[in-house]
Structure 1
Amino acid sequence: MKAVVKTRPEPGFVEVMDVPIPQIKPDEVLVKIHASGVCGTDILLADWRYTGRRPVNPPIILGHEGSGEIVEVGANVKHLKVGDRVGMEALIGCGHCHFCKKGYMNLCPNWNHLGIDFDGTFAEYIAFPAVGIHVLPNSITYDEAAFLEPISIVAHALENNPITVGDTVAIVGPGPLGLFSIQAARAAGAARIIVVGTSSDQKRLEIAKELGADYCLSNGDTDAFQTVKELTNGIGADVILEAGGTGRSIEQAIAMASGLGQVFLMGFGTESTINPLTQIVRQDLTVKGVVGSRPIHYETVNRWLENKTIRLDHMVTHTFGFDEAHKAFELLKCKEAGKVLFKTDL
């Protein structure tokens, strides 16, 4: 089968190659991949700049956003069948630790991450643990289901209804997480949505506007927080969804919050130091980290997609076959794409 493989532990060395179709274990299913989304983490792995919980050990098939059809079922799997249309979770907990037993697999200290710890979705077939499979409603397409994983992170951030009808919501970082957040925030009742990017984010800010953002700012690398204050008559944003993952974007997110504001840190980049600690105290802010997601969030996303709360219109700007993996990666690096999709029928 064809697959996109990180072959060596150094920058570059991502190759499209033929590899054997995997053999499944008794608790796994074999999924024929139909669609797979490209994430910023895949770019970091390709450039060998990814810093995770533990070392990545190439060779490994990249990709952790995917959908497909079950073509084989392991001997111990009773709740799934051949022909099921499915999406896959990215994080598989150990199932035995304190957090897994409480249902918080995203906090498992020994999780395995799809496309990082075991072979991912940039392949024609994948062997996948049945415990992390979600059967798709009939109305959801494979293309839509390829994005269950990134949208589930937004569902995680919003699970306790932090947005009150009429709120101003600021979204820092117009990458895929930020763009999905626009639609979810509007559905949750936001009256005004401000999206903050940098001077290199013009294409993505255009997409943000098409998705319903009221204001799109390109000064996130300088003083966007001041502009947000001006747009809100000096008050600031009620809820901030930070999806940039840089020290600067985190500082901006906190600085633009109103008193009693809520800041959700979804971005996952290099380690950062939060400088405006006095701002958190004096403004009585709530700052919450959002890491990964849990099975319930995938089911939430299934409902969002089913009732068109979140749509892919304007989001998917480029579609490729695996043979064009390098072109897809370069488009994302230069921020000329919204969301990039691999399809196995191309």
Structure 2
Amino acid sequence: MKSKTAFLHKPHDLRIEEVELAPLKPNQVLIQVGACGICGSDVECFEGKSAEGRYDIAPYTPGHEWGGKIVEVGSGVSTLKAGMKVTGDCVMACGVCQNCKDGLMPSACLNMREIGFRPDSPGGMGEYMIVEEQYVHQIPDDWSYAMGAWVETFSIGYFGLWGNGGYIDASDTAVIFGVGPVGISATMAAKTSGATVIVVDPIPSRRELALKYGADHVVDPTAGNLKEQIDKLTNGSGPSVIAEASGNDTAIASIFDIAGHSCRIHLIGHSIGRKVPVELGWTIWKTLKINGSGGTKDFGQRTIRFMSAIKDKYDFDALNTHYFSFDKLHEAMDTAINEKDTAFKVMLQFPID
């Protein structure tokens, strides 16, 4: 069976090629892709700004945010069947190495594979994809494929607050830095958990969006002293929860200044590859609790249930500002790169039987 599939050969060299799909192994499923989102990490790999995409090994198929339909299952598959709408995990742990047996994060797996970033784990930028059963999750029939593509993104923001021992409830005031797709997901998760939510972003349209998706207050960090603005909204006590979802150096540095005493800090935004000067002493004097969030662990099914519970309140499909057919892949990538202020989520769509 043939599939038209995208391959990133090197920075700025993304090609659609026709390939012959390998026969299914007993534990695999064949999925016809219905939608695939373009993530900021896809853009960084395309531009050569991230080492996460491993085209240095061989050309690979991007796309870790996807939704599709199963068309065939391997002989050993028992929990999935043809016709199901599905999505899947991004980071795929082997389950048998020492780190996996110790219960560490999938990103700690000594044999880790990562859908959409490596030649051995092709992503959703293609007509079809093959994935092992244990990494595939059924989504409700009334979901669009594009909403299925949001599961991976939402899980990052959701896990960022609740994973690794994190928690948030109606007693909390949370500050979310960054109204990108992960930040808006964290905003929805925080508000649904009952917290008072303050969102910080310099872009007016992003702040307006945050107010529609759960923020009680929005702050422009360029409009004045950020700590003074946050103190005014928290009666001087500062937030009890901070989720940094922007990856911005200035935002990261400001965390320690604005945090309230005993604040639970969740670092979600990517900042690997550079050093950020911070006033670390506040960690001691404010008794701050810092939690890194490198991906998710066992949150696929939980994320789908959470999104199902809030989808009538928050319109996920409305977050997809730009849709492109797969044959317009390069135009879609150009939009994601050059129209960051207005292109909130660029979504590829595929004709599906």
Using structure 1 for the length normalisation, give the TM-score: 0.90
Between 114-123 and 240-249, the greater mean CA deviation after superposition: 240-249
Mark the CA change 1:145 to 1:53 in structure 2 (over 3 Å): closer, same or farther: closer
CA distance in 2, matches of 1:56, 1:68: 28
Distance 1:128 1:92 in 2: 10
**Secondary structure in structure 2 of the residue aligned to 1:140:** coil
Letter in 1 for 2:198: I
Q: Deviations over 1:166-194 (max 9, x none)?
A: 42211111110001111111110112x22
Paired residues of 1:242 and 1:267 also in contact (CA < 8 A):
yes
Which one of the candidate residues 6, 9, 23 is aligned to 1:7?
9
* Number of the residue aligned with 1:195: 199
Secondary structure in structure 2 of the residue aligned to 1:170: strand
Q: Distance in 1 between matches of 2:55 and 2:252?
A: 26
The letter of the residue matching 1:93 is A
Deviation at 1:229, TM superposition (A): 2.3
SS in structure 1 of the partner of residue 231 of structure 2: helix
Runs of 5+ in structure 1 lacking a partner?
none
Counterparts in 2 of 1:219 and 1:56: CA distance versus 1, 3 Å: farther
Q: In structure 2, which of residues 98, 123, 132 is the aligned counterpart of residue 120 of structure 1?
A: 123
Larger mean Cα displacement after TM superposition, 128-137 or 212-221: 212-221
**Aligned residue in 2 for 1:241:** 243
Greater shift after overlay, 29-38 or 44-53?
Answer: 44-53
1:313, CA displacement in angstroms? 5.2
Contact 1:24 1:30 in 2 (8 A): yes
Partners of 2:52 and 2:117 within 8 A in 1: no
Distance of aligned partners of 1:220 and 1:164 in 2 relative to their CA distance in 1, 3 Å threshold: farther
- 1:330 equivalent in alignment to 2:334: yes
Cα RMSD, aligned residues only: 2.3
Closer, same or farther in 2 for the Cα pair 1:221/1:340, shift >3 Å? farther
User: Quick check: 328-337 or 286-295, which moved more?
Assistant: 328-337
After superposition, residues 266-305 of structure 1 pair within 5 angstroms as 266-271=268-273, 272-273=275-276, 275-295=278-298, 297-305=299-307
Query: 1:253-268 maps to which residues of 2 (within 5 A)?
Result: 253-268=255-270
Deviation at 1:225, TM superposition (A): 3.6
Counterpart contact for 2:174–2:243, Cα < 8 Å: yes
Q: Secondary structure at the match of 1:152?
A: helix
Query: For residue 75 of structure 2, what is the aligned residue in structure 1?
Result: 75
Q: Which of 203, 208, 211 does residue 209 from structure 1 map onto? A: 211
Which residue number in structure 2 is paired with residue 162 of structure 1? 167
Q: Which runs of 5+ in 2 are unaligned?
A: none
Size of the aligned set, in residue pairs, is: 340
SS of the residue corresponding to residue 179 of structure 2 reads coil
Are the structure 2 counterparts of residues 74 and 195 from structure 1 closer, same or farther at C-alpha, using a change threshold of 3 Å?
same
Query: Post-superposition shift, 1:78?
Result: 2.5
Say yes or no: does 1:105 pair with 2:110.
Answer: no
CA distance in 2, matches of 1:119, 1:186: 35
Q: Are 1:319 and 2:323 an aligned pair? A: yes
What do residues 219-259 of structure 1 show as CA deviations (whole Å, max 9, x unaligned)? 26985344222322322111111011233221122322111
Contact kept, 8 Å, 1:246 with 1:270, in 2: the verdict is no
- Matched with 1:41 is 41
Paired with 1:257 and 1:185, the residues of 2 have a C-alpha distance of: 17
Distance 1:81 1:216, change over 3 A: same
**Are the equivalent residues in 1 in contact too, given 2:33–2:127 (CA < 8 A)?**
yes
Task: Output the CA distance in 1 between the equivalents of 2:319 and 2:262.
Answer: 32
- Flag the 1:59–1:213 CA change in 2: closer, same or farther, 3 A: same
- Report % sequence identity: 29
TM-score by length of 2: 0.88
Runs (4+) off by over 6 Å: none
CA distance in 2, matches of 1:38, 1:332: 7
CA contact (8 A) 1:155 1:300 kept: no
Maintained 8 Å contact 1:242/1:249: yes
State the distance in 1 between where 2:78 and 2:38 align.
Answer: 31
| Cα 1:109/1:225, change in 2 over 3 Å | farther
Amino acid at match of 1:89: D
Evaluate the alpha carbon distance shift between residue 226 and residue 330 of structure 1 in structure 2; reply closer, same or farther with a 3 A threshold: farther
Establish whether residue 93 from structure 1 lines up as the match of residue 96 from structure 2: no
